Amino acid sequence: MLVVVVISVILTELPQGALALASAVDRRVFDHVYVPLGDVWDILVLVNSSMNFILYCVMSAQFRSTFRRVFSVRTRSCAVSRTQTVLELD
């Protein structure tokens, strides 16, 4: 799973980094290449991030259980503090 995540990050981030580096060297690269392709690479990075989350959820039972435990505790603690605040106001 780690190898798949690392390869997907490299495939999406490396071209964007190369374009940013080339844009720093030559202004024409920024105007003619980076501006038209910048949004495409940004979308690819966003899709990669969401796919990584889905991949973690599907392939790792430990990730799923930790995710549930972390967010269920915070939900309960928020509900308790809201109840206490309402009771103190009365």
> Is the Cβ–Cβ distance between 10 and 45 less than 8 Å?
no
pLDDT tens per residue, range 25-61: 988 988 888 888 888 888 888 888 888 888 887 888 8
Which residue type occupies 47?
Answer: V
Helix (H) or strand (E) holding 88: helix 61-89
- Is the pTM for the entire model greater than 0.75? no
pLDDT tens per residue, range 61-90: 888 888 888 888 655 555 555 555 555 555
Q: Could you give the CA distance from residue 15 to residue 39 in angstroms, rounded to a whole number? A: 13
